[in-house]
């Protein structure tokens, strides 16, 4: 048995590490790799973690295990679509192992689909839309967009410096919170913490928490636990950043609260802006933009309608199930990855702001409020992950990506 992996194994490792890096849950990654291995005629065992994928090849009585590190990257639905098409090409015997390996690496090294300025605009749209949905005034929402722009610039500057990139989210949180407090003291904003949270929406790991819950529910305990701990670490880091900003800005714990729901027409505008921003950040292809916005609107209106009637948890559960079923039907009809519509729809439902509020309240010595918000977030995450699993059971996706 050769010490270096064969082209088939190298292709599998490249595929698995890419899928993990783009945020797919462990069971989806393992299913995709096994599907590609069957096309290659390999007998393998796969084990995926959030940052590592392991492949054990079986050749008669000999086995060899190889590992690959998965670098965490932003979700890129265009590249995921290309990887989905590549697996199909291998299954149709249009590509051999060496060609498939070359194609995987070519997909991963493509230039970014969007310019830097478009990502900055998307961050502003997410902050502005999130602020409107959280119930603040238009003036506060515009300031949230401005702070979101600042956070986007800081993230862009730190992207090429790994050491700085680890500190950028916390530093951006401190500065955004401090700026929001200064605007409040100058009587330019009425709800400084809500404005800060809206500006920070791109930093919150709500999707990570949801994926972790899905992994735990599907029996991938190691991966789910590791992803959960990573999300908690991010919440704590951002919570400390908010705490420092509030202390420096002289804002007390009484300001930590969620506002009443915004009027439907205002929240609808906010949802449109939020969905458009997410579509850019997730690198949705232009031809999929209309379908993406429709699914996001469906998630918003189902959650809003049922949430006001039967409770937020029920609204999230039904909305997530609806998004999953529609996404799987779209994927089956057009032979596309189910994640093309699932991920944008789920992003409209993730409760990351509640987690940050819970951490901030705990840091400011308000355990009752922290506990209440933490429970609300936990219930919402469970409802969201359950909806995803229910949709997969009701209409199983044809492919694993």
Could you report the per-residue pLDDT of 268-293, keeping only the tens digit for each? Answer: 999 999 999 999 999 999 899 999 99
Contacts (Cβ under 8 Å, ≥6 apart) of 226: 49, 50, 51
Q: Is residue 400 in some structural domain?
A: no
Per-residue pLDDT of 73-105, as tens digits, reads: 778 899 989 888 888 888 888 888 888 888 888
Per-residue pLDDT of 192-204, as tens digits, reads: 888 998 899 888 8
The range of the structural domain enclosing residue 67 comes to: 7-108
Do 245 and 173 lie in one domain? The reply is yes
Handedness of CA 42, 47, 50, 53 (dihedral sign): negative
Number of domains, the chain = 2
Do 94 and 31 lie in one domain? The reply is yes
Do 95 and 225 lie in one domain? The reply is no
Task: Using DSSP bridges, classify how beta strands 44-48 and 62-69 pair: parallel, antiparallel or unpaired.
Answer: unpaired
Do 61 and 158 lie in one domain? The reply is no
Measured over all CA atoms, what is the biggest interatomic distance in the chain, rounded to whole angstroms?
A: 74
Per-residue pLDDT of 225-236, as tens digits, reads: 988 898 888 888
Q: How many residues does the chain have?
A: 401
pLDDT value, residue 334? 86
Confidence of residue 294 (pLDDT cuts 50, 70, 90): very high
Report which of 385, 175, 130, 126 is spatially closest to residue 276, judged by C-alpha positions: 126
Among candidate residues 108, 129, 158, the one where a domain is terminated: 108
Q: Is residue 28 in some structural domain?
A: yes
Is 245 within 8 Å of 184 (Cβ atoms)?
no
Q: Is residue 335 in some structural domain?
A: yes
pLDDT value, residue 123? 94
Do 19 and 156 lie in one domain? The reply is no
Confidence of residue 1 (pLDDT cuts 50, 70, 90): very low
Is 30 within 8 Å of 18 (Cβ atoms)?
no
Contacts (Cβ under 8 Å, ≥6 apart) of 91: 35, 39
The stretch 300-327 carries a mean pLDDT of 88
Among candidate residues 49, 74, 108, the one where a domain is terminated: 108
Q: Is residue 137 in some structural domain?
A: yes
Do 121 and 104 lie in one domain? The reply is no
Do 96 and 120 lie in one domain? The reply is no
Do 173 and 264 lie in one domain? The reply is yes
Helices vs. strands in the chain: H and E counts, helices first: 16, 3
Q: Is residue 401 in some structural domain?
A: no
Do 50 and 176 lie in one domain? The reply is no
Do 274 and 195 lie in one domain? The reply is yes
Q: Is residue 399 in some structural domain?
A: no
């Amino acid at each position: 048995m050769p010490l270096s992996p064969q082209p088939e194994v190298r292709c599998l490792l490249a595929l698995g590490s890419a899928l993990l890096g783009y945020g797919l849950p462990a069971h989806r990654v393992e299913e995709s790799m096994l599907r590609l291995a069957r096309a290659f005629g390999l007998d393998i065992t796969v084990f995926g973690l959030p940052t590592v994928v392991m492949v054990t090849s079986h050749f008669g009585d000999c086995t060899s295990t190889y590992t690959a590190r998965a670098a965490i990257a932003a979700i890129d639905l265009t590249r995921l679509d290309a990887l989905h098409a590549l697996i199909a090409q291998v299954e149709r015997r249009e590509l051999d192992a060496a060609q498939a390996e070359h194609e995987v690496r070519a997909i991963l090294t493509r230039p970014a689909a969007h310019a830097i300025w478009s990502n900055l605009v998307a961050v502003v749209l997410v902050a502005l839309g999130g602020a409107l949905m959280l119930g603040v005034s238009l003036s506060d929402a515009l300031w949230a967009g401005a702070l979101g722009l600042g956070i986007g610039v800081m993230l862009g500057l730190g992207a090429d410096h790994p050491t700085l990139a680890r500190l950028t989210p916390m530093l951006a949180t401190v500065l955004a919170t401090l700026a929001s407090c200064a605007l409040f003291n100058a009587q330019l904003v009425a709800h400084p913490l809500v404005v800060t949270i809206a500006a920070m929406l791109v930093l919150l790991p709500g999707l990570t928490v949801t994926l972790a819950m899905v992994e735990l529910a599907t029996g991938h305990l190691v991966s789910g636990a590791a992803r959960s701990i990573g999300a908690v670490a991010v919440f704590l880091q951002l919570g400390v950043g908010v705490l420092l900003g509030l202390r420096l800005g002289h804002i007390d714990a009484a300001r930590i609260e969620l506002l009443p729901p915004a009027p439907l027409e205002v929240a609808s505008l906010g949802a449109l802006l939020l969905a458009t921003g997410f579509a850019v950040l997730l690198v949705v292809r232009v031809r999929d933009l209309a379908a993406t916005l429709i699914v996001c609107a469906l998630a918003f209106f189902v959650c809003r309608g049922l949430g006001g009637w039967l409770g937020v948890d029920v609204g999230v559960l039904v909305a997530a199930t609806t998004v999953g079923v529609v996404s799987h039907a779209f994927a089956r009809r057009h032979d596309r990855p189910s994640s093309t519509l699932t991920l944008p729809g789920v992003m409209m439902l993730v409760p990351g702001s509640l987690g940050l509020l819970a951490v901030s309240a705990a840091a400011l010595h308000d355990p009752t409020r922290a506990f209440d918000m933490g429970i609300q977030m936990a219930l919402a995450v469970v409802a969201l992950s359950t909806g995803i699993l229910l949709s997969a059971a009701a209409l199983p996706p044809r492919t694993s990506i």
